[in-house]
Structure 1
């Protein structure tokens, strides 16, 4: 893979993604020496934890202006100006103005819980349209819970990949009652397509935590936040076993790329046609918080 292409949802055009550390990622995942470094150190918790702590230091705020410029980040969307952040991580988990991300509050819709690039598979198997052929998504390994695996084994899988440029808070896709979060320890592989195209197991080998959103119309939606290389931590800001609203904040990721995975029960919702079509053609689709991604089945 020479570069990452995706479909811009608004225009329908194929775009090339700007990837910070692109050469480094290619070396780690496709060069024999890089793979030695990856498995010997980079995937380990201490490396990501060390870098996460570094991004919490006051000195790290010097990186903010260059990051904004290089990735063309629109600071008019942020609640606080660039000068108001005390560290890079403080900026990285910046809050956005409500009007910058309007929520589709139609009762029959499910909205994106995260911002980035989305893939959707109606049926847990059959991921060959995007990933290297022959790989299967192992629900048992991913959830480490046989009862839950059975519940979603014929359901819909959505993968939302957050790159460093993206807004790094995640939200609820529908109204409902949210369970406590169940953490699963793991490694810290990258979630970039450079890594996961031929290594789907990243999703069940990386650190992650999941919770269940019980809804009135869309069944039980499983939400799982997956950590990745240089992600300092996954922070849950919601109250377990509480009533939540569509678009309400659930938590955030500190520095690094990361992923939110959603599982829908079979027959509960219909994924938007453009997302399905793009996935089948081997492309991720750009997505914003609050945009509709599915409609509840009658």
Structure 2
């Protein structure tokens, strides 16, 4: 059971997890854990499933998925579009009206839809994954020089469920550098896995870049792959001027994670998000939602 905080209702809700029984089995049972280490965490499994989701045979899953998880298709950029496979549906674009973005330069917005955790005044060697599990920014980036610049800064972890909108965006105007790619495993990023795989974010395939934002300084964007996420697609152009809310990229099928690192004294995250994080609870947010203010 995964509990999250709904900012609108100010109440806790239980997440509807796609493949809940499967996740519990592969990460908690002896046979499942062995299968995960032998096959599921490896690139081949995610590639094979990714090919299936790109095939016409996967289209039959779409209607049931929409119904089971109450997905509002009226929010799509084109609500009448017919998807030829599951991945086309999964990476669907939403209308600008459904995800408004504040033009106030003092406001930090969420880079995507998902469940958000926020950590302030971070210790580079002990960034929280979940309670009891931490990792090092140096290990995550494999770049000591860059990591050192973010001591005492802010870390935002946005976990995307398979039911979420799976495109991620820029949080400010600015220019983004080249993407650096780090190969790795394909563990699930669901809390069930996070509570059992130490330093999972540093184990998984990931990509990162430095975004030189106009109002919040240099921000590290990290995209973490996961089970069945054989591909992270970057759609932005390095070195090109970016507007707040512009798309950075998207994940193909599977739950995934976007992590942002901001330098010390650049932003103050909203109190409710920080408080819920201190309790070990994620806060549900949508792309473009206000989550903090400039310092």
TM-score (norm 2): 0.96
The CA distance in 2 between the partners of 1:132 and 1:157, in whole Å, is 15
| SS of residue in 1 equivalent to 2:101 | coil
User: Cα offset for 1:198?
Assistant: 4.0
- Cα deviation, residue 83, structure 1: 5.4
Q: Indicate the larger mover: 138-147 or 194-203.
A: 194-203
Give me the CA root mean square deviation: 1.4
Q: CA deviation at 1:90?
A: 0.4
Q: TM-score, normalised by structure 1?
A: 0.95
**Structure 1 residue ranges (4+ consecutive) displaced by more than 6 angstroms after TM superposition:** none
Secondary structure at the aligned position of 2:221 is classed as: strand
Q: 1:242 corresponds to which residue?
A: 240
Aligned to 1:167: 165
Distance 2:154 2:34 in 1: 35
Q: 2:172, 2:214 within 8 Å by CA — same for their partners in 1?
A: no
For 1:225, what is the secondary structure of its paired residue? strand
Q: Which residue of 2 aligns with 1:41?
A: 39
Q: Show structure 2 runs of 5+ residues with no match.
A: none
Structure 1: gaps of 5 or more residues: none
Give the match for residue 87 of structure 2. Answer: 89
For the 8 Å contact 1:162–1:257, the answer to whether it is kept is yes
* Maintained 8 Å contact 1:131/1:198: no
Measured in 2, the distance between the counterparts of 1:154 and 1:205 equals: 24
Q: Tell me the distance in 1 between the aligned counterparts of 2:234 and 2:114.
A: 19
After TM superposition, the structure 1 = structure 2 runs for residues 113-262 of structure 1, keeping only pairs within 5 Å, are: 113-125=111-123, 131-133=130-132, 135-262=133-260
> SS of the counterpart of 1:136?
strand
Aligned residues, how many? Answer: 293
1:160-217 Cα offsets, whole Å, 9 max, x none, are 0000100000100111111111111000000000011243411011011011111222
Report matched runs for 1:255-294 at 5 Å: 255-294=253-292
Instruction: Tell me the equivalent position of 2:29.
Output: 31
